[in-house]
Amino acid sequence: MLFNSIPFLLLVILTFSIYYLPIFQSLQTMVLIVASFVFYSWHFPVLTFLLAVSILINAFLSWAIVQRLKRKKELVTLGVILNLAILIFFKYSPLIGVTFIRDDSWSDFLISIPLPIGISFFTFQGISLLVDAYRNTEGTSDQVRVLPFWKLLFNTSLYISLFPQLVAGPIVKARDFYPQIKTKYLSGVRWNYVFQHVVTGYFLKMVVADNLKDFTGELVWPAFERFSSIELLVYLFGYSMQIFADFAGYSLIAIGISGLFGYIIPQNFNFPYVASGFSDFWKRWHISLSTFLKEYLYIPLGGNRKGRGRTYLNLMVVMALGGLWHGAAWSYMVWGTFHGLALVTERFLNNRGLSSLHPVYTIIKSMWVFFCVSLAWLLFKLPEFNHVIAWFKALSSNGSLYTDEIPLLYIFTLSFPVILYHGWYLVSEKNRGNVFREKFKPALLGAMITLIILNSGSPIDFIYFQF
């Protein structure tokens, strides 16, 4: 169910209308659960069974862990293994079938296994619940311990299936969500917060990303082989703008609609294309994933506590696995490994005192980081390695072939709101702060609404739905 579709709009309106009725005040959790399952089952109802299984596993094991039953460590280990097993079976079976299985019948079976949307996200939230319960984390264990199992099951169902962020995040930690599960009141809705997030999100998705995709769709093999070197770079620049607008747009809509029902979920983007380094980039891009990997993988591996060599190895492992998390193709692991190498190199140079705080150095470094990040997006757009190689060959050999300036002009025009979005941040934060931002916000929101109505592109799934 697309966010920019009539069925989704009707679902939100109907759920909201029922949710705040006094007669349903004690059933608000159930109302959201029903709406979430309707949303998830819209196109593939059979896969809803998998979501229900994930909820049951994580609810029962978290309850068992917090009730101080014996073998708590074994229970949390079992839970993590079950979550990862579900993820691996449904997401990576096709990759395993293509890469390792020689028997055609088994290979065909593995390739045919469907990919449930959002599985990467809701399995990570299940792991967060189990680990937070095991660690006796305040905000999770206290909530779980005092609840009867049936109530915990409802709360876990809401936590894992909340429909605005179910299929592409942001990933919400259990300790941040469970304390919010309480009666909500219409008077408590933060309308400005909801409105600004939803309008900005729909603008980035419908006006920027959905229009850019009509041009970046040409960045496929063998179509790109006719492009000049300049066109190849501009089209890649356009895709970099598109993937940001698409994913940041989704996250903003999810945050806004969750706020409509009284739930605050974390910001997922903090103007990543002005990052002054690769480490800074990962503090700004897909923040919920990077913080999850840091807290639940990097730190348990030892983090930076066991010497530089181990730190570099931990960074490489985390980023490679984080890349593979994005998709069942080796190109995603290569993408993650590239970012791991960039982080290791940056840390190595900083340890040698080769960093600088000079403004010119910072600007040049930011431009370099943006270039490298955009270049790496090629592995998302062209997941076949031979197509990536063909792109680089065309870049080096096509030179000044005829350049069609009209598509390039459209790409830069459609990308301008993303540039303005980041420039707005730089100006408002470094000069007059929130005063500058608030002064022009109403006019910008009005302009975005106008463009959503008049200049939306043809609707298409969010890019991160495939992950």
Structure confidence by residue, pLDDT tens digits, 352-396: 665 555 667 778 888 999 999 999 999 999 888 999 999 999 888
Q: How confident is the model at residue 256 (pLDDT cuts 50, 70, 90)?
A: very high
CA 389: distance to chain centroid? Answer: 27
Residue 77 pLDDT > 80, yes or no? yes
**Contact (CB, 8 A) for 129 and 156:** yes
Structure confidence by residue, pLDDT tens digits, 134-151: 887 666 666 666 677 888
Do 284 and 359 fall into the same domain? yes
Do 206 and 171 fall into the same domain? no
Beta-carbon contacts of 298 under 8 Å, excluding residues fewer than 6 positions away, are 314, 315, 318
For residue 1, tell me if it sits in a domain: no
The last residue of one of the domains, among 157, 186, 215, is 186
Do 383 and 240 fall into the same domain? yes
For residue 462, tell me if it sits in a domain: no
Tell me the average pLDDT across 279-303.
93
Least confident of 27-36, 139-148, 401-410, 419-428: 139-148
What range defines the domain where residue 96 resides?
Answer: 6-186
List the beta strands (DSSP E) in 377-458: none
Structure confidence by residue, pLDDT tens digits, 208-230: 999 999 999 888 888 888 888 89
The last residue of one of the domains, among 141, 164, 186, is 186
The pLDDT of residue 423: 85
Do 419 and 384 fall into the same domain? yes
Domains of the chain: total: 2
Q: Please give the radius of gyration of the chain, using alpha carbons only, rounded to the nearest integer.
A: 23
The last residue of one of the domains, among 165, 186, 207, is 186
For residue 221, tell me if it sits in a domain: yes
Do 124 and 234 fall into the same domain? no
Do 261 and 123 fall into the same domain? no
Do 11 and 66 fall into the same domain? yes
Do 171 and 251 fall into the same domain? no
Do 225 and 294 fall into the same domain? yes
Do 195 and 334 fall into the same domain? yes
Query: Which tokens go with 132?
Result: 């937070």
Give the predicted TM-score (pTM) of the model.
0.91
**Long-range contact set of residues 382-391: C-beta below 8 Å, sequence gap at least 24:** 382/219, 382/220, 382/221, 382/331, 383/327, 383/329, 383/331, 383/332, 384/221, 384/331, 385/330, 385/331, 385/334, 386/221, 387/220, 387/221, 388/331, 390/221, 390/222, 390/224, 390/225, 391/221, 391/224, 391/232
Residue 410 pLDDT > 70, yes or no? yes
